[in-house]
Amino acid sequence: MKARTWMMQYGVAMLLSCAFALILGQVPLFRETAVGKLAASDLVQFLGYGCTIALAWLGARQLAADPPEEWKWLSPYRALILPVTTLVTVILAYGILLLVGGPFLNKSAKGIYNWMFIVGIVAAIAWLIVTWVRTCAPLVAATALRRLKKAA
């Protein structure tokens, strides 16, 4: 039951946030209105998509901290939830932040921006690998061993 509640809370909020960003970003009023180099459509998309990935990360954090009882299969992989979600969030945030920052970045600033995200993505991948090796792999092996003993 808890899983269904979470899906309603986070899933519907993410869907609405993403849908409003997509729809309002295409409305002529937002596309034609700008303050300097920043278009209102880009700002609306930044807010909507940014809220979507923030909600996804918060939902993953809650799932990792307190998984639903009906999802027992998730137990050995629970520690991977946050690193995987962080990796996806950092990858998606690159384009989302460019919506509002892109018009103001010159060539050297864009290079620094790119390198910041490269470091963030590599760090998230390293976190994912270390979490698998130190936490999840031993749990998966122990779970498989218990299943083999039960079958024998």
Q: Quickly state the pLDDT bin for 28 (edges 50, 70, 90).
A: very high
Question: pTM here?
Answer: 0.84
Is the pLDDT score of 11 beyond 60? yes
Token match 């799932």: residue?
63
Is the pLDDT score of 79 beyond 70? yes
Task: Give the pLDDT score at 69.
Answer: 79
Q: Quickly state the pLDDT bin for 15 (edges 50, 70, 90).
A: very high
> What residue type is 146 in one-letter code?
R
Region 89-98: what's the mean pLDDT? 96
Look up residue 105 and give its DSSP letter: -
Half-sphere exposure of 81 (CA within 13 A, CB side): 18
Break the chain into its structural domains and give their ranges: 2-151
Is the pLDDT score of 126 beyond 90? yes
40: tokens are 């209102």
Is the pLDDT score of 76 beyond 60? yes
Task: Give the pLDDT score at 139.
Answer: 77
Count CB neighbours of 46 within 10 A: 20
Is the pLDDT score of 142 beyond 80? no
Which range is least confidently modeled, 24-38, 40-54, 65-79? 65-79
Cβ–Cβ under 8 Å, residues 66 and 40: no
Cβ–Cβ under 8 Å, residues 56 and 14: yes
Region 24-50: what's the mean pLDDT? 94
